[in-house]
Amino acid sequence: MVHSIGKPLLDELNRNPGGARALVVQGGAMRGIYSMAVLYALQEIGIRNSFQNAFASSAGALNIAYMLAGQARAGVEVYLNHISNRKFIDPLRFWKIADIDFLIDSVVSGSKELNLDLVKKSETDLHIYCTNAISGSQVVFSNHEDVDLLDVFRASAGMPVLYNRWTAIRDEPLVDGGVSNNIPLIDAMNTGCRDVLAIVTKPLGDRHDGIYGIKRILYGMLMGKYPPAFRRRFLDRDELYNRSSALLDGSLETDENIFVIHPSDPGRLVSRATTSRKKLLDCAMMGVNDCRRYFGKLELENIPFGTD
């Protein structure tokens, strides 16, 4: 059952604070500022520690990590002030249009340092999705296992074509987790969590029916370094994503309680490569107020995010 308001979830949190519930967050490169802003609002509302499990890939996984560390505001400012520039996204730098190394090594480890100790100590089990660059199959890591989390975030955000390189973890070549599981909703439901809060960065009803025609040929050329199995996984119709989307918009029924926060105005939603701070801030404000409205809180006219 899909709930149009969040009050039943708040009621359940009050009745059973330690109950099994899950958080699912979609990424989408710079579009991730929307989900980061929603997570900031969750932190301010006071329910950031209310989830036994969290599931995400790419920007969504890093966004959750900032919230688990109590740094959701800093997470929003990462988008606004630290990667809204050509150091991170440069269409003319065709060999690395999105510099994930800059994001991880200079921002997440530097100017807006993520407190990894707090992420690892969090009671929430964060499931971080990557994709095997050979087979196209999903590979999942946890914030509680013995692994270099920075490399996991680097791999999970490593978009084919835009970043176009893989990260080796335990001798396995890994890239963007969104290729194999863009919205890990079904995995969240399979853990036995009856209440799932999903934050998506695309309008409800979105589907991925595959890439065909001239565009498929172009992508095939740009992805020549990847084996055929991976290219098919990237280019073909994404049945898992489509099923997850159908559960989120209610066209596919389920007994679980699904709570969905989604962009209320698609016209304010930024693209994967937006670098305009003005547009990013407007999208962030939409995310904050979409969350507050969903949980019955007063909307805010402005939040003075830092400009450092």
Q: Identify the pLDDT of residue 146.
A: 95
Q: What torsion, rounded to 10 degrees, do the Cα atoms 54, 203, 100, 291 define?
A: -50
Q: Identify the pLDDT of residue 6.
A: 87
Q: Identify the pLDDT of residue 19.
A: 74
0.75 cut: is pTM over it?
yes
The two tokens of residue 247 are: 């559960």
The two tokens of residue 54 are: 């969290």
Q: What would you report as the CA-atom Rg of the chain, rounded to the nearest whole angstrom?
A: 18
DSSP structure string for 74-138: HHHHIIIIISSSTTTB-TT-TT-SB-HHHIIIIIIIIIT---HHHHHH-SSEEEEEEEETTT--E
194: left (phi over 0), alpha (psi -120 to 50) or beta: alpha
Question: Beta strands 195-199 and 257-261: pairing type?
Answer: parallel
For residue 13, the SS3 value is helix
Per-residue confidence in pLDDT tens, the chain, 308 aa:
888 888 888 888 777 777 789 999 998 999 999 999 999 999 999 988 899 999 999 999 999 999 999 999 999 999 999 999 999 999 999 889 999 999 999 999 999 999 999 999 999 999 999 999 999 999 999 999 999 999 999 999 999 989 989 999 999 999 999 999 999 999 999 998 889 999 999 999 999 999 889 988 888 888 888 999 999 999 998 999 999 999 999 999 998 899 999 999 999 999 999 999 999 999 999 999 999 999 999 888 877 777 77
Nearest to 54 by CA among 101, 109, 119, 102: 119
